[in-house]
């Protein structure tokens, strides 16, 4: 009860206080540095200032730690996608693309989480809680796709929202994992991963018949099914992509 003990508790608390949290943080840092494969249980213990056996009081084994991190990652992922979707404001297509960018941003800014979630070799169904978290995150994309599908122009058959969601997911994951992270980012590209994904999604949506030319409706005409591409005269607002979803057409 002495002051010192109180002090110790503040520093390390009960036998360190919250080793579990400390280990998660340490592991996160290590994974960010060296990848999920390179991360070692012993290192995390060392980093937390604790013996190599201590972590086993909090995690059955190394995989369970990894799985915990992946789960936490899916939760943050879900939060970011939810925020990006913003319930479809200001319009569905814009919000949808924002979700795509949020996906990439997460992959780029949280490499450790992304690695644990998708590249650590964890079996998808390792942990029911993990699986549930993963599904909750995916459901954001799915819900967005649902809203988008409901907007299908009259002329076109309405695409299944589930399929759209899976397509978008695969695009985002493909771009993230091939071009946007770690060593893979070194591949030389004609455009940034964000632009690449944005163009990909836009072209895809156009393929479904959605109007993707969302700029101040300078030249009236409500979008007919599959409107022609950007008119050559438009003023190219900053967010817009002149000349179509890709850069300057040849």
State yes or no: residue 5 binds DNA (CB under 7 A): yes
For residue 196, state whether it binds a second copy (rule: CB under 8 A).
yes
Name which of residues 47 to 66 contact DNA (CB under 7 A). 50-54, 56-58, 61-63
Should residue 42 be labelled a site residue for DNA when binding is judged by CB under 7 A? yes
Counting contacts by CB under 7 A, is residue 188 touching DNA? no
Q: Which of 52, 83, 129, 156 binds a second copy (CB under 8 A)?
A: 156
Three-state helix/strand/coil letters over 29-60: HHHHHHHHHHCCHHHHHHHCCCCCCHHHHCCC
Residue 128: which residues within 8 A CB-CB, separation 6 or more? none
| Residue 129 near which of a second copy, DNA, none (CB within 5-8 Å, type-dependent) | none
Asked if residue 34 binds DNA (CB under 7 A), the reply is: no
Query: Is 223 near a second copy (CB under 8 A)?
Result: no
Contact 138, 118 (CB under 8 A): no
CA–CA distances in Å: residue 142 to residues 78, 131, 136, 167, 244: 12, 16, 10, 10, 26
Q: Is 21 in the site for DNA (CB under 7 A)?
A: no
The stretch among 9-17, 24-32, 102-110, 182-190 that binds a second copy (CB under 8 A) is 182-190
- Picking from 135, 156, 151, 177, the residue whose alpha carbon sits closest to that of residue 96 is 151
- Count of chain residues binding DNA (CB under 7 A): 23
Token look-up 């508790």 returns 9
Owner of token pair 């002051």: 3
Spell out, one character per residue from 119 to 138, where the chain touches a second copy: x when CB under 8 A holds, - when not.
x-xxxxx-------------
Q: Confirm or reject binding of residue 184 to DNA (CB under 7 A).
A: no
Report the 10 Å Cβ neighbour count for 6: 10
* Positions in the binding site for DNA (CB under 7 A): 5, 8-9, 14-17, 19, 40-43, 50-54, 56-58, 61-63
């Amino acid at each position: 009860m002495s002051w010192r003990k109180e002090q110790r508790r503040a520093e390390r608390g009960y036998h360190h206080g919250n080793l579990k949290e400390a280990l998660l943080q340490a592991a996160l840092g290590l994974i960010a540095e060296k990848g999920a494969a390179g991360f070692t249980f012993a290192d995390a213990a060392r980093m937390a200032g604790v013996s190599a056996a201590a972590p086993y009081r909090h995690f059955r084994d190394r995989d369970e730690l990894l799985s915990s991190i992946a789960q936490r990652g899916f939760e943050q992922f879900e939060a970011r996608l939810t925020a990006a979707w913003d319930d479809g404001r200001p319009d569905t297509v814009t919000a949808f693309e924002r979700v795509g960018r949020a996906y990439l941003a997460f992959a780029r800014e949280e490499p450790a989480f992304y690695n644990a979630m998708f590249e650590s070799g964890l079996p998808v169904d390792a942990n029911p809680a993990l699986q549930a978290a993963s599904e909750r995150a995916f459901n954001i994309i799915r819900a967005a796709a649902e809203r988008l599908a409901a907007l299908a122009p009259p002329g076109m058959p309405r695409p299944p929202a589930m399929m759209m969601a899976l397509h978008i997911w695969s695009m985002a994951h493909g771009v993230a994992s091939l071009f946007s992270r770690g060593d893979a980012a070194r591949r030389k590209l004609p455009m940034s991963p964000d632009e690449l994904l944005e163009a990909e999604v836009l072209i895809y949506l156009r393929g479904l018949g959605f109007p993707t030319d969302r700029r101040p409706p300078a030249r009236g005409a409500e979008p007919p099914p599959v409107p022609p591409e950007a008119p050559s005269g438009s003023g190219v607002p900053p967010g817009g992509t002149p000349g179509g979803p890709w850069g300057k057409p040849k």
